[in-house]
Amino acid sequence: MKLQIDPKYDAFREEVRAWLKEALPADMAARTLQCYHTTIEDRRAWSKILAAKGWAGPAWPKQYGGPGWDEWQVMIFEEECYLAGTPMVDEAGFKLCAPVIWTFGTDEQKQRWLPPLLAGDQYWGQGFSEPNAGSDLASLSTRAVRDGDEYVINGTKIWTTDVHYADLIFCLVKTDPEAKQRGISFVIVDAKAPGVTIRPIIDIGEGHSLNEVFLDNVRIPADWLIGEENKGWGYGKLLLDNERAYSAEIPRNKRTLARLKKLAHETGMIEDEGFALRVAEAEADLSALEFMTLRAMAEKAGGTNFPVGSILKIRGSELLQKLGGLQVEALGPYGAVVYPHGATNDMPPGPAIGHGVLADFMYRRAVTIYGGSNEIQRTIIAKSYLEL
Ligand SMILES: Cc1cc2nc3c(=O)[nH]c(=O)nc-3n(C[C@H](O)[C@H](O)[C@H](O)COP(=O)(O)OP(=O)(O)OC[C@H]3O[C@@H](n4cnc5c(N)ncnc54)[C@H](O)[C@@H]3O)c2cc1C
C-alpha cells in the first residue's frame, strides 16, 4: 500500500498551480485568506472562471461535464485551490446534491439541474436538519403531500447554510408520516417559490451563513421528487456518506497550518520553544491524518473499502479546532479582539493576516457538530468497527 501520492501526479500539480497563479485574481485570494465567509460575488465570479476552464466539477464524471479526473487528481486540485486562496464554491450543490441527481435522477432531471449548476448559474442549499431533527434526522417532520401533479410542502428547516443565496434547496421530507425512515422522500424546492421564508441566524463571529427556512404550503411539481417516493432516506445516506468522505478537511487544515506558521513568524511567537513544539505536534497530526486519508483512498482503489469516514471526521475536525486555537494564541493580545465577519474598514490594529482569525476560530467550533456530530461518529465507530 502506498502512503504517498504517486510522483506521476507531480506534473498535474504543477499544471494546476500554474493555472491558479494566472487565473485567480489577487484581491479575491487575499479576501479568502483573511478567513471570513466568502462573499457571494467572489463565489459566483470564481465559479464562472472554473466553468470556463472546464474544472468546475472536479469530481464529476466526464459524461456530466466533469474533467474526468481520478480521486488523486481531485485531492491535489482541492489542496492547491485552498493553498492559493480560492473562494469556496457551491459545495452543497457540487459535492452533495449533484451525485444524488446523477445516480438516482431521471435523464430530464439531470438535464434540468446539472448544466446550470456546472456553469455557476444556480446556487443550492441543503435542507435536511430541523429544529427537532438533527442527529436523529429520521425523526424529521416536514410534510410533503401529493396534490395532483404537485406536492404541497409544510415544515421548518434550520441551520441551512448559505440558503439566502440559493435558487434551489434539496430537502428530505416526510411523505408517509406513519413510517420513520421508510416514509422519507428527497425533493427539490425552488428557494424563491411562494411560501418559502428565509430568516438569518447570525453566528458567534457575527457572520451570516446560517438560516432558518419556513415552508408554508410550498408547491413543487411532482417530478421534482428524486427517485422513488419514500426511498429518500437511502439517497440522503449516500449524500451524507459523501459529505463525510471529505470531512478530514486536509486542504483546509493545510491552509490553516500554513497561515498559523506565517502568523507565528510575523508575531514572533515561533521563538517561544513551547509554542513551536505545539505547532510541530499539530503538523505531525496533520501528516498522520493525511496518511490515514491516503490509506483509505488506496484501499478503496484496491476494492477493499476501509470504512474510515467517521474516524477522519473526528480527527480532521479536532485538528482544525486545534490549529485555530494556536492561531489565536499566536496573535497574542490581538487574539482577544473580534474582527467581525465582513468587516473591512475601521479594523483595530494587529497583523492584517490575523484579522479574520478569531471570527473563524469561533465559527469552527461548529466543525465537530456539522456533517454529523463527533459524538454520533464515535457511536458509529463503536457499533460498526468495534462491534460494541
Ligand atoms: C455551522 C453549521 C452548518 C450547518 N449546515 C447545515 C446545512 O446546510 N443543512 C442542514 O440540513 N443542516 C446543517 N447543519 C445542521 C447539522 O447537521 C446539525 O447541527 C447536526 O446534525 C446536529 O444536530 P442538532 O444541531 O439538532 O443537535 P442535536 O442532535 O440536538 O445534538 C445536540 C448534542 O447532543 C449530542 N447527541 C445527540 N444525540 C446523541 C446520541 N444519540 N448519542 C450521543 N450524543 C448525542 C450531539 O452530539 C450534540 O452534542 C449545520 C450545523 C452547523 C452548526
Does 79 participate in catalysis according to the annotation?
A: no
Task: Report pLDDT for 383.
Answer: 86
Task: Report pLDDT for 345.
Answer: 55
d(CA 34, CA 85): 9
- Which fold, 124-231? Butyryl-CoA Dehydrogenase, subunit A; domain 2 (2.40.110)
Closest residue by Cα to atom 4, ligand 1, is: 159
For 284, counting Cβ atoms within 10 Å of its Cβ (0-12 exposed, 13-18 middle, 19+ buried), the class is: exposed
pTM: 0.93
Around ligand 1, the residues with Cβ closer than 6 Å are 126-129, 134-135, 159-161, 210, 366, 369-370, 372-373, 375-376, 379
Closest residue by Cα to atom 44, ligand 1, is: 375
Contacts of 301 (CB under 8 A, 6+ apart): 71
CATH of 247-385, one of 1.10.287.1080, 1.20.140.10, 3.40.50.1000, 3.90.650.10: 1.20.140.10
The pLDDT profile of the chain, 388 residues, written as one tens digit per residue, is 566 788 899 999 999 999 999 999 999 998 888 878 889 999 999 999 999 999 999 999 999 999 999 988 999 999 999 999 999 999 999 999 999 999 999 999 999 999 999 999 999 999 999 999 999 999 999 999 999 999 999 999 999 999 999 999 999 999 999 988 899 999 999 999 999 999 999 988 788 999 999 999 999 999 999 999 999 999 998 888 777 666 788 999 999 999 999 999 999 999 999 999 999 999 999 999 998 888 887 776 666 555 578 889 999 999 999 999 999 999 998 888 877 766 655 666 777 778 888 888 999 999 999 988 999 999 988 888 777 7
Task: Report pLDDT for 193.
Answer: 98
Task: Report pLDDT for 35.
Answer: 79
Give 374 Cα–ligand 1 centroid separation in angstroms: 9
Evaluate whether 244 touches 312 at the Cβ level (below 8 Å): yes
Quick one: which H or E segment has residue 217? strand 208-221
Closest residue by Cα to atom 41, ligand 1, is: 376
Q: Helices in the chain by DSSP H: which ranges? A: 10-23, 26-33, 40-53, 71-84, 91, 98-104, 107-118, 232-245, 250-267, 273-301, 309-330, 357-363, 374-380
d(CA 22, CA 20): 5
- The ranges of the chain annotated as CATH 2.40.110.10 are 124-231
Instruction: Catalytic residue, from 78, 243, 290, 329: name it.
Output: 243
- The ranges of the chain annotated as CATH 1.20.140.10 are 247-385
Task: Report pLDDT for 206.
Answer: 82
d(CA 388, CA 107): 43
